[in-house]
Structure 1
């Protein structure tokens, strides 16, 4: 430990030091002190103004979670209550054993049909957050998702770091281009559910999404399932997805994961055996306890 030397307050040091000096020297010193104070004050104001001028969009943050224990909701970068201000969610505040399935769809590599089959077998609703190329290249899968009662959400057109977008017009364009593709395929308006690419967000972006009528969804349970050359084993996947499930969980999975496609039917069965049921994000949004 470093011991701090006791220093007399500056207001007491200056008069005693000045008393030993000639009046003219004192005047010069006082003027120097005044100039230094004024310069420091103006510099501080300038720095504060510069900090204020920087857009919050340049301070993007990755959504992150802290494990709280098996069967317990993790802590997030923000609380459920804090996210409510922006119509955003990462879990439901409930003791009921209900979970919400979501899939991020960056492209199609043959796994989505198997995922849809497993969901249909268990009558489990899900939300698929899709990017532009997935919608454009897979119209039949989009129609199948809708016909099976799933929600198709917006994961942006080009999957950029949305926290670097400071213009609401540019933000709107990333979302509206996906909306237009979806409407061309289904003849319906897209549900305004949004997930930030890679979970990168800023409060400014959350405000933009809210202004555009979107609900934003993060997650409370995910695992590293997106690396194509390093797919988790079935055992590794079950360990994470069974061990960290909790009441009110929003589960994030990727449709590109071969492991997910292979284990999903058994995973849903095992969650059911643990007493869990599957809800729709639509229920979460309308639930007063969300």
Structure 2
């Protein structure tokens, strides 16, 4: 099956980056191996965009999308600290405004805080460079005001909605666009998966160089993260920050 954020579709052959808006999607032909995205790693590399890290190492890049504080982020931070595991938290304006102390802790704990835009709109619907830039700049300014630090230059499109133009826009601003190679349906706060359901997706599908997407609003994630990280460690994996992503091969932009 092809996994899109919020739905599944029949698997299809990988395609080049679509000229029009699309949703980031994955299919998993073989569990334990890198999935197939609806754009290849080489396609994305043209725009300093990634969905996989170093596939030659048993390494995992942990990322969390943070739309708002739901009472679980500090438990997640505690588990990461216990395992000395770096992560990236992609935040929106509401998260910084309503939970500034947690944002400051993310930075103090050595995690990357990434740009998930200020308002969490469908960025693929924004073709104007100035409007696109404002969504990212406003979030970056709020982060700097809150922490006194410069926001790291990592961007994740809300809902995984993107287009070639979006990737060009983000690249022109100096951002790396970060998709993901493993996720599961964890964002419905009133319909949380059981630990067994989470493990059934997150353990057999883990792979070398995985960029894992989890949501910090998830009660299940908070409760199982310590054990999940232990299980991945027992499988031989280590955890690396997005700053360790291999530099994309230089290719001309299209």
Could you state the TM-score of these two structures normalised by the residue count of structure 1?
Answer: 0.78
Aligned 8 A contact 2:64 2:90 in 1: yes
Partner of 2:131: 170
Following superposition, the deviation at residue 69 of structure 1 comes to: 1.2
The aligned length equals 234
Question: How many Å apart are 1:96 and its aligned residue?
Answer: 1.2
The counterpart of 1:253, out of the listed 197, 204, 214, is 214
Q: For the structure 1 residues 176 and 57, does the alpha-carbon distance in structure 2 shift closer, same or farther, using more than 3 Å as the test?
A: farther
Shift of 1:59: 2.6
1:142-181 matched pairs, under 5 angstroms:
142-181=103-142
Q: Is 1:106 aligned with 2:106?
A: no
Larger helix fraction of residues: 1
1:131 aligns with 2:98: no
Q: Aligned in 2, Cα 1:244/1:273: closer, same or farther, shift over 3 Å?
A: same
Tell me which residue corresponds to 1:263: 224
- Does the CA contact (< 8 Å) of 2:54 and 2:246 recur in 1? no
SS in 2 for 1:251: strand
Aligned to 1:228: 189
Change (3 A) 1:80 1:93: farther
Which deviates the most, 87-96 or 152-161?
87-96
Report the CA distance between 1:203 and its aligned residue.
0.2
User: 1:211 Cα deviation (Å)?
Assistant: 0.2
- Residue 185 of structure 1: how far off its partner (Å): 1.1
Match for residue 161 of structure 2?
A: 200
Tell me, in whole angstroms, the C-alpha distance in 2 between the residues paired with 1:93 and 1:124: 17
CA distance in 1, matches of 2:77, 2:61: 15
Instruction: Write out per-residue CA displacement over residues 58-102 of structure 1, whole angstroms, 9 at most, x where no aligned residue.
Output: 931000001121210000011111101000000024231100000
Kindly indicate whether the alpha-carbon contact (under 8 Å) linking 1:57 and 1:163 is maintained by their aligned counterparts in 2: no
Q: Which residue of 2 aligns with 1:276?
A: 237
Query: Residues 103 and 127 of structure 1 are in contact (CA less than 8 Å); yes or no, is this contact kept in structure 2?
Result: yes
Superimposed CA distance per residue, residues 98-151 of structure 1 (whole angstroms, 9 cap, x where no aligned partner): 000000000001000000000000000000000011011111011100111000
Q: Which runs of 5+ in 1 are unaligned?
A: 1-55
SS at match of 2:203: helix
Q: Does the 8 Å contact 2:18/2:163 carry over to 1? A: yes
Secondary structure at the residue paired with 1:102? Answer: strand
Pick the structure with more strand per residue: 2
Work out whether residues 80 and 89 of structure 1, in 8 Å CA contact, stay in contact via their aligned partners in 2.
yes
Q: Name the SS for the 1:243 alignment partner.
A: coil
CA contact (8 A) 2:88 2:111 kept: yes
Structure 2, gaps ≥5 residues long: 1-16, 250-254
After superposition, the CA RMSD in angstroms is 1.7
Contact kept, 8 Å, 2:124 with 2:166, in 1: the verdict is: yes
